[in-house]
Amino acid sequence: MSDDAARQAFQVDRAAEMLASGGLVAFPTETVYGLGADASSPAAVARIFAAKGRPIDHPLIVHLADARQLGQWARDVPAVAWRLAQAFWPGPLTLILPRGHEVPAAVTGGLDTVAVRVPDHPLALALLARFGGGIAAPSANRYGRVSATTAEHVREELGEQVDLVLDGGPCDVGIESTIVDASDPRRLVILRPGVIGATELRRVVGTALASGDPGPVRCPGRKASHYAPRARVILVSEGDDAVAGIARWRAEGLRVGWLASQPPPGSPESAIWLPLAGNPSQQARVLYRRLRQADQLDVQVLLVVPPPEEGIGHAIADRLRRAAGMGDDAGFGPLDEPGPGGHR
């Protein structure tokens, strides 16, 4: 075994012991970093909510080493869910299924469904295999804020609140998993778009999936005003006069950022350019890093040109709308979390 492999095995052992004794371990997945705890322990799970400042009725995803563990966490798993698991696990797909009888209510926010997924990251899989049980893990960020895609971002977000951070480098996918509600096999619903898109899902399922929002309690991650940096985020569409827009905010004495594939129009000094370049996968990979950079650069108004709403572009545009406080459920009533600009 090489030194690196030995060091990693040692870290994984420590992390599994930490989980077994009720601790919090942040770990990399292919999507974003997770803040993990023993999913079978209500006390350990309670620590996740405290560390994130997340309301306790917001359900968590249970991460598994293998689809064969599904039976311990879910019941009445429909055939179509097995097909999806077989096609996409390990991978960035979360399935909502009827909750197994042993799953603590703390994990599911009292719902009778449970979210499960097998992540596609060697460190996550090594940890899951070593630990042996399910690991409940939300994204490793403070509630309502941008998900962490590096170990350093996890430490910035959660500091001393987490007992151990496994460092697996930057996440490959960069945005959270696609969530499919498969609890009713007659009506599959995409609750959160991700890099596994409607077309690929349809290919496995055989019919089109609904795209929907069951409401703020069932899937609060779909809430407007999520994934927000401190800057006020404003989406700029094709027809807008961006030069005039930038000038207007500058005239108010504000620091303006420009998140787009191309540099800001007009003078390059008019706004701080945060490039969202490359193909859609590359854009997803850097999206949250760019939102964090906007904060580090003290950007006060971030103008964003979202990518076209196709495939992965749809998932990116979804996160950007939420960062702008414009989710499709914006009318849901009082927001109980810091919104865009809430920290200014």
Q: Which of 158, 174, 151, 133 is nearest to 28 (CA)?
A: 151
Q: Name the segment binding Mg ion (CB under 5 A); options: 69-77, 136-144, 292-300, 318-326.
A: 136-144
Q: How far is the CB of 160 from ligand TXA (least distance, A)?
A: 20
- Whichever of 25 and 246 has its CB closer to ligand TXA, that residue is 25
Q: Which of 172, 221, 237 is nearest to 322 (CA)?
A: 221
Q: In whole angstroms, give the CA distance from residue 189 to residue 198.
A: 10
Place of tokens 């012991």: 17
Task: Look at residue 61 and give the partner it binds from Mg ion, ligand TXA, none, a contact being a CB closer than 5 to 8 Å depending on partner kind.
Answer: ligand TXA
Relative to beta strand 135-136, strand 25-27 is unpaired
Task: Look at residue 179 and give the partner it binds from Mg ion, ligand TXA, none, a contact being a CB closer than 5 to 8 Å depending on partner kind.
Answer: ligand TXA
- Whichever of 145 and 230 has its CB closer to Mg ion, that residue is 145
Q: In whole angstroms, give the CA distance from residue 46 to residue 244.
A: 49
Q: How far is the CB of 242 from ligand TXA (least distance, A)?
A: 32
Q: How far is the CB of 289 from ligand TXA (least distance, A)?
A: 16
Q: How many CB atoms lie within 10 A of CB 177?
A: 26
Place of tokens 């108004």: 301
Residue whose Cβ sits closest to Mg ion: 139
Binding mask 83-122 for Mg ion (x = CB under 5 A): ----------------------------------------
Binding mask 38-57 for Mg ion (x = CB under 5 A): --------------------
How is residue 119 written in tokens?
């992540």
Q: How many CB atoms lie within 10 A of CB 268?
A: 11
- Whichever of 136 and 256 has its CB closer to ligand TXA, that residue is 136
Where b means 16+ CB within 10 Å and e means fewer, 87-115 reads: ebbbbbbbbbbbbbeebbebbbbebebbb
Q: In whole angstroms, give the CA distance from residue 36 to residue 291.
A: 24
CA separation (Å) from 73 to 15, 40, 68, 202? 22, 10, 10, 25
**Contacting residues toward ligand TXA, per CB under 6 A:** 29, 31-32, 34, 58-61, 94, 96, 108, 111, 113-115, 119, 137-139, 176-177, 179, 191, 218-221
Which of 11, 31, 40, 139 lies at the binding interface for Mg ion (CB under 5 A)? Answer: 139
Task: Look at residue 220 and give the partner it binds from Mg ion, ligand TXA, none, a contact being a CB closer than 5 to 8 Å depending on partner kind.
Answer: ligand TXA
Residues near Mg ion (CB under 5 A): 139
